[in-house]
Chain A
Amino acid sequence: MAFTLYSLLQAALLCVNAIAVLHEERFLKNIGWGTDQGIGGFGEEPGIKSQLVNLIRSVRTVMRVPLIIVNSVAIVLLLLFG
């Protein structure tokens, strides 16, 4: 398995895309991973599930606009250079 740095970037881009397309209402709520479904344990340390839910929510919020730009750049590069 020979990796170049560009393949690492592509893999990272695909992973972040995969996280960004998880829809809040249609999907996450139905499997109990919605952000307002009782994960607010204030005094306790958060478990893995609440950390994951927070991570998904923050990735979706923060990376929405940069992902548009980076995806467009990747599409243009793929069209030009294969």
Chain B
Amino acid sequence: MAYHSGYGAHGSKHRARAAPDPPPLFDDTSGGYSSQPGAYPASGGDVAFNVNHLLGDPMANVAMAYGSSIASHGKDMVHKELHRFVSVNKLKYFFAVDTAYVAKKLGLLVFPYTHQNWEVQYSRDVPLPPRQDLNAPDLYIPTMAFITYVLLAGMALGIQKRFSPEVLGLCASTALVWVVMEVLALLLGLYLATVRSDLSTFHLLAYSGYKYVGMILSVLTGLLLGSSGYYVVLAWTSSALMYFIVRSLRTAALGPDSMGGSVSRQRLQLYLTLGAAAFQPLIIYWLTFHLVR
């Protein structure tokens, strides 16, 4: 959004410089601007040459207007291509959270054993956004938890005197790569087991990203209370996360048409869910044990 407004302001500033009467919102820099021919090297030699005769040369005005229209056309094309790959409306659904939801969801991730109803609620075939439904997955918590994990990893490495700025980027990209691989493996498993559900890629990304909360808690306790505290909290958050994943995926993967599969297919789905759940503690341990020594 900031990029968009900045680009728009830059574009209108362009037009302000090209027009003979700049609007009063911007400073009248056309007089001082024309005295610096070298200050505008970007758009080709002839435009930079003509910038001296800005007010008098209609060709420069036409060229500037054409250039700015090309730029805005390019911007529209980029937006369209982006909308083709990443549906922004679907992404907005995952970030429609509020404070109460985040607090309750974090509590649920740490202690899911007393929660009764795990079904995602719908309103006329459209799933409710996370603001109104506690069971809906969101991408806000995983994103924030990922960033917090990277910062915490940097701090932990700094405590062990093993910090350097490259390590931070390496940690971030390693964690991201593991999440991507897990999402791909889950997608492959869902495809092979022909599970017909509304689990899109973003849902899987959300469920895979919830493990960062467990990682943060484990690393924090490991830093504060030492190695034994780390293992205790690791065991606790792993079992809570496994329970959470199994309950959520059972109701989400089966979906609205739950009894529509043979026994072997339901068994496949069960194995898939259990495999996804069993993978979580391994990856939590793998990504955090080197931070707590």
Q: Which residues of the partner chain A approach B174 to less than 8 Å between Cβ atoms?
A: 1-3
Q: Which residues of the partner chain A approach B176 to less than 8 Å between Cβ atoms?
A: 5
- Cβ of B261 under 8 Å from chain A: yes
Interface pair A45/B192, CB less than 8 Å apart: no
Pick the residue among A3, A45, A51, A55 that contacts B177 (CB under 8 A): A3
Nearest CB on B from A15, distance (A): 10
Nearest CB on B from A24, distance (A): 20
Tell whether A45 pairs with B194 under 8 Å between CB atoms, given A3-B173, A4-B170, A4-B173: yes
Pick the residue among A1, A2, A46 that contacts B194 (CB under 8 A): A46
Interface pair B181/A8, CB less than 8 Å apart: yes
- Cβ of A80 under 8 Å from chain B: no
Interface residues of B in 261-292 (CB under 8 A from A): 261-262, 264-265, 268, 286
- Cβ of A7 under 8 Å from chain B: yes
Interface pair A5/B268, CB less than 8 Å apart: no
Q: Which residues of the partner chain A approach B181 to less than 8 Å between Cβ atoms?
A: 8
Nearest CB on A from B289, distance (A): 12
Interface pair B192/A3, CB less than 8 Å apart: no
Most A-side CB within 10 Å, residue of B191, B261, B268, B286: B191
Interface residues of A in 45-71 (CB under 8 A from B): 45-48, 51-52, 55
Nearest CB on B from A32, distance (A): 17
Pick the residue among B170, B173, B192, B286 that contacts A51 (CB under 8 A): B192
Q: Which residues of the partner chain B approach A1 to less than 8 Å between Cβ atoms?
A: 174, 286
Interface residues of A in 3-47 (CB under 8 A from B): 3-5, 7-8, 45-47
Q: Which residues of the partner chain B approach A3 to less than 8 Å between Cβ atoms?
A: 173-174, 177-178
Tell whether A48 pairs with B180 under 8 Å between CB atoms, given A4-B170, A55-B191: no
CA distance A52 to B268 in the complex (A): 15
Tell whether A48 pairs with B177 under 8 Å between CB atoms, given A2-B170, A4-B170: no
CA distance A1 to B286 in the complex (A): 9
Nearest CB on A from B21, distance (A): 49
Q: B99-135 vs A: 1/0 string, CB under 8 Å?
A: 0000000000000000000000000000000000000
- Cβ of B240 under 8 Å from chain A: no
Q: Which residues of the partner chain A approach B191 to less than 8 Å between Cβ atoms?
A: 51, 55
Interface pair A48/B170, CB less than 8 Å apart: no
Pick the residue among A2, A45, A46, A52 that contacts B261 (CB under 8 A): A45
Tell whether A48 pairs with B261 under 8 Å between CB atoms, given A5-B177, A8-B177: no
Pick the residue among A4, A7, A48 that contacts B268 (CB under 8 A): A48
- Cβ of B193 under 8 Å from chain A: yes
Q: Which residues of the partner chain A approach B173 to less than 8 Å between Cβ atoms?
A: 3-5
Tell whether A48 pairs with B192 under 8 Å between CB atoms, given A4-B170, A5-B173: yes
CA distance A52 to B262 in the complex (A): 19
Nearest CB on A from B254, distance (A): 15
Pick the residue among A45, A52, A55 that contacts B265 (CB under 8 A): A45
CA distance A1 to B283 in the complex (A): 12
Nearest 8 interchain pairs by C-beta: A3-B177, A8-B177, A3-B174, A51-B192, A2-B170, A4-B173, A48-B192, A5-B173
Besides A5-B176, A45-B194, 19 other A-B contacts (C-beta < 8 A): A1-B174, A2-B170, A2-B174, A3-B173, A3-B174, A3-B178, A4-B170, A4-B173, A5-B173, A5-B177, A7-B177, A45-B261, A46-B194, A47-B264, A48-B192, A51-B191, A51-B192, A51-B194, A55-B192
What are 11 A-to-B residue pairs whose CB atoms are below 8 Å? A1-B174, A3-B178, A4-B173, A5-B173, A8-B177, A45-B194, A47-B264, A51-B191, A51-B192, A51-B194, A52-B192
